[in-house]
Amino acid sequence: MANHILIGLGGTGGKIIRAFRKTIYQEFRQTKPENAHLGYLYVDSSDELMSLEDSTWKILGKSVQLGENSKVRIKGQNLKPILNSVDQYPGIQPWIGDRAVWNDVLGSIVGDAAGSQRRRLGRFLLATNVTAFINALNAQVQELVKNSQEPNVTFHVCCGLAGGTGSGTAVDVVTQIRNNYRPTYPGQYRIVIYAFLPDEKPKPNRDMTGFYHANGYAALKELNALSIGTFRPVDLAAKNPNQLRLELQDPFNGCYLFSNQNENGYLVDVDTRLPDIIADFLYQKIIAIETVQVIGGQEEHPQVTLSRQENAENGDSSPEPSPNDSNVIERSKRFLTFGLKRIAIPEEEIREYTTLTLANQATQHLLYNNWNDDTGWDNKPKNIDYTSYVQKKENLEGWYLSNDHITYSKGILEGDRMNKNWKLISEYWQVVAGPMMDTAMQEDWSQWLREIERLFAEKFENEYRGNGVKTFYANKESAKSAIALEMKQTLEVKLIDLWRNGEFSMHNIQQIAETLGVWVLAKINEANGKIAKITEEIPGEEAKLSANNKQYSDIGVLSRTMGKHKSMLIGHTEVLTQLYKLRTNLAGWEFAKSLLGAFNLQLSGLQRDIATTVRTLTVSIESFENGLKERLQDKGLELNGHVIRFYDRDKVIQRLPDFVLNKNLQHTTASNVRNRLLGILGNTQTFGNFNSKITDVVFQDTLSEASEQNADVWHDTLPKQHQFMGQSIVQKLQEEFAGNDLRLTKFVRDIIKQSGSYLQFNTEEINKKGDGIPDRPNKVVTYTVIIPHTPEEQDFVKKLEEAFRQNISITGNVSISIVPQNDPRRRHEIVLMTVTNLFPLRFVGQLKYLKEGYDRQVIHHQNAGEKAKNRMILHLEGDGMQHPDLYIKTITRNEYTPYMLTAIAMELFTKHVDSRGVSQLALVRKDEDGFDLDPVFLGTDLHQAKENMSMQDLEALRREVEAKLKSEFLQIAKREELKIKIIGTIEAFKESRGGSLIDPVYVAFRDAGKQAVAILKQ
């Protein structure tokens, strides 16, 4: 496949590239299909469409945004320093114009300079970034040539003519491409322009400056002048002041013009539908047509036909001449337009609908996990007793929220959990009591109670878990935040596991976290109760110790002989064990109260994270449902759009319940989606990381990708008669029209009627006759019909082809070509493409209101200063008057009179005596070597001279006068001398006519003199 580079200028160009890349992805499920060698370059002064995160570049969950190497930003951060030193920029200085106007223009811009609907500003921005553009262009070309091993490239330049960026850069982008890529053989380095003409009634705030329509007309004037070679723009990349102007042959091959209203009056939205239509046309001509396999002796491949049209090789491409001088060309015929109609089964939309249905169902599962045998995954949660679930012993244990954990009887931090020496509080004092009693008994019996009390106190103060109870809990209080975080992280892992294995939905998870928050607050109150109760119990145990000590001191010899002292030691140890359990538990519950407060803060953060995740799912369900509402909403067969959707919508809708209620498919999809989502999180499986990495867009993209794959698998398992994707449009048409040729013919006729070009034509201009209008036919129309090759339906295909031939009027400048398409990917559509070419711009219907908008700014504006300023802003160089008019302008002899008077003042006319001895006005000239030519005798006075000069000589005289006014007579003083001579000529003519002030011939010359003086003042 050949190399193609799409170059988008300004917002319109960017939207066309975006729509084209979406079309590519829809067809191939990748942006770089095999064997398609495509490059892109997007040039804009606005970042609006350049962001990597711009969701408008998404299609089926996939971003088709361009890489940075395909973007050229020409935003001007500060143009004033360049203006102040413009002599250092040879590619800018010759055309920059009046600095005072620029101060006004730049002063009205807030922030970085963008095109701002001012064409010369758009050019200024490109000029300051022209090296970046050329480098990016060359890089795209080199990459294509390297990958394809094919040296030739076709450049497709897409732009709108209403704004400042697209309209203001189109001419220079085209000329820079041509300057860098000059063809050495026919067909090499073709440049094709696709220009959107400003819509007649733009949306509110679209025409912000009043230049919306004027820009369009100014751009067309310059493109026309560029095509015929009279506009040789300054090379923006020029480094040598002596080589400024570009000398280019055929700067572009053809320029497609299109608008938002076709010739049948069908209107499309400028921002949404129109870029899709242009992208569809580009896809058809770049990708689809190239895959057409011509079968059965077709004379010419449609791609060859199209190339000839774009090169203006299918008819007379000679520009229209001036009506006053056939040697002067004025209006190019290198302009084209197109119409596009596709009769198609909306395969991609059907695929998107099934994908969105499955994605929506999977999200319902992830959010609610509530299966209903009648409806599939329900959009509401199950009824669950969350309080009982939260209070389950095994759950609290797993979440480190049991009493033993929160009192830190059990360790929570990993090091504490792994400490094999730790015993529960309830066990610890029981275990250490026996050994301490044995130690106490090694003392004199009289000291046993005092010793055991000392040993318990020592254990409590210094030895419990290596530090003593108070120090231990003081340390844990310092580590409270880390412990609370560990608890939160453990809880989060458990909750994510519940979601991963499908046991609970995100709504369930959220309710568990919310219920747990209530439980924590209740647990803090419970801790307060525990603290109060223990505090009340401790004095009772302490009283028992006092009573024991008093009784022990009264033991006599006999009682000791009976072993009473030993039994009292045992009893005393039991009281101490209970007392120190209480004291330790008191410290534990006081810590638990503090720890629960810290954990509650962590839990609140987790609750917020979970709520954000739930919101992502909720928003995605809404997005999927909105997507479903936008698709397959046909209300019947509509023929006026560029795609005629021909399919059985009911069949698709009727199959979807089987799809939705396929529990195995739904579970598989949901499981795949969960694993994909959690896989994105890597090793950090948290809801916070989920929210950070899985935005609404990422979530919906992931759901869409997984759902599309599963939807395809499901569809392929359907019985053949129930399948609705991968169908043949020919078969569908045969099912509808078989046996009814009349209905088929009427169907095709109605399509042809609605298949007009996306441009309106001016019948009056088309039918105009006269000077400057060739007799040969203009406006050549070629219809190309591409029908899928279906040998099994060949009889019906022949009837279909005949229906097209019968309904397209074949005349001298209208032709039709019907070709079979053998690409299996294109079985679902028939394409009708119309290309109209070889017409001058005066044929364009939209030109009328564009010129009216232009004239309002440069002719009818009440302020003369503003008129001059507007001319400068609207045109890239000069004031636009140097370019030919787009309409045929027949100049009468009277309109040449001011130029004759000026020519006399310039001494281009002199009095000479002819061969008969008669003194006459004669036109005197020199040849190219500087020798005098024979005088052309015109008559004895001005009146005779005007009538005797040929129109061709008058036109040549006008051009010579205008040239001299821009060179020899540019200074004010010299023009003042001309003015005095013109007045003198008029006075002398009046006297020669008898001096009457009302002589009509004199009056006509007097008025012409006034016009001549007005020209001098310009």
- Confidence (pLDDT) at 960: 84
- Confidence (pLDDT) at 579: 95
- pLDDT > 70: what percent of the chain? 97
Strand pairing of 909-913 and 829-839? Answer: unpaired
What confidence tens digit (pLDDT) does each residue in 954-1005 have?
A: 777 888 888 888 888 888 888 998 999 889 988 888 888 888 888 888 888 8
Q: Is the pLDDT reported for residue 379 higher than 80? A: yes
CA 418 to chain centre: 56
Dist CA 542 CA 545 (whole Å): 5
- Confidence (pLDDT) at 407: 95
Q: Is the pLDDT reported for residue 237 higher than 90? A: yes
Q: Is the pLDDT reported for residue 697 higher than 70? A: yes
Mean pLDDT of 100-109: 78
Q: Among 286-295, 410-419, 431-440, 873-882, whose mean pLDDT is lowest?
A: 286-295
Q: Is the pLDDT reported for residue 91 higher than 60? A: yes
- Confidence (pLDDT) at 828: 87
Mean pLDDT of 342-371: 88
- Confidence (pLDDT) at 109: 63
- Phi, psi (deg, nearest 5) at residue 128: -75, -10
Q: Is the pLDDT reported for residue 110 higher than 60? A: no
Dist CA 196 CA 194 (whole Å): 7
Is residue 653 within 8 Å of 632, Cβ to Cβ? Answer: yes
Is residue 305 within 8 Å of 817, Cβ to Cβ? Answer: yes
The residues near 327 (Cβ < 8 Å, ≥ 6 apart) are 321, 952
- Return mean pLDDT, the chain: 88
Mean pLDDT of 627-631: 85
- Confidence (pLDDT) at 636: 72
At 112 the three-state DSSP class reads coil
Dist CA 948 CA 937 (whole Å): 9
- Confidence (pLDDT) at 496: 94
Mean pLDDT of 576-595: 96
- Confidence (pLDDT) at 944: 80
Q: What is the pTM of this model?
A: 0.74
- Confidence (pLDDT) at 634: 74
Is residue 460 within 8 Å of 583, Cβ to Cβ? Answer: yes
Mean pLDDT of 896-923: 82
Q: Among 337-346, 634-643, 827-836, whose mean pLDDT is lowest?
A: 634-643
Dist CA 716 CA 725 (whole Å): 9
Mean pLDDT of 797-817: 84
Predicted confidence band at 11 (pLDDT cuts at 50, 70, 90)?
very high
Structure tokens at 741: 């040729």
Sheet with 909-913, edge to edge strand ranges? 909-913, 919-923, 936-939
- Confidence (pLDDT) at 916: 82
Q: Among 109-113, 353-357, 436-440, 900-904, whose mean pLDDT is lowest?
A: 109-113
Q: 728 versus 600: which is more confidently predicted?
A: 600
- Confidence (pLDDT) at 890: 67
Q: Among 382-391, 634-643, 798-807, whose mean pLDDT is lowest?
A: 634-643
Q: Is the pLDDT reported for residue 946 higher than 70? A: yes
Is residue 884 within 8 Å of 230, Cβ to Cβ? Answer: yes
- Confidence (pLDDT) at 77: 65
- pLDDT > 90: what percent of the chain? 49
Q: 761 versus 323: which is more confidently predicted?
A: 761
Q: Is the pLDDT reported for residue 777 higher than 70? A: no
Residue with tokens 């000590």: 549
- Confidence (pLDDT) at 758: 93
784, β-bridge pairs: 817, 833
The residues near 393 (Cβ < 8 Å, ≥ 6 apart) are 402
Dist CA 382 CA 809 (whole Å): 66
Strand pairing of 829-839 and 643-645? Answer: unpaired
Q: Is the pLDDT reported for residue 924 higher than 80? A: no
Is residue 366 within 8 Å of 615, Cβ to Cβ? Answer: no
Dist CA 949 CA 937 (whole Å): 9
Region of 253 (left: φ > 0; alpha: ψ -120 to 50; beta: rest) is: alpha
CA 971 to chain centre: 52
| Backbone CA torsion sign across 869, 870, 873, 875 | negative
Measured distance between the N- and C-terminal CA atoms of the chain, rounded to whole angstroms: 55
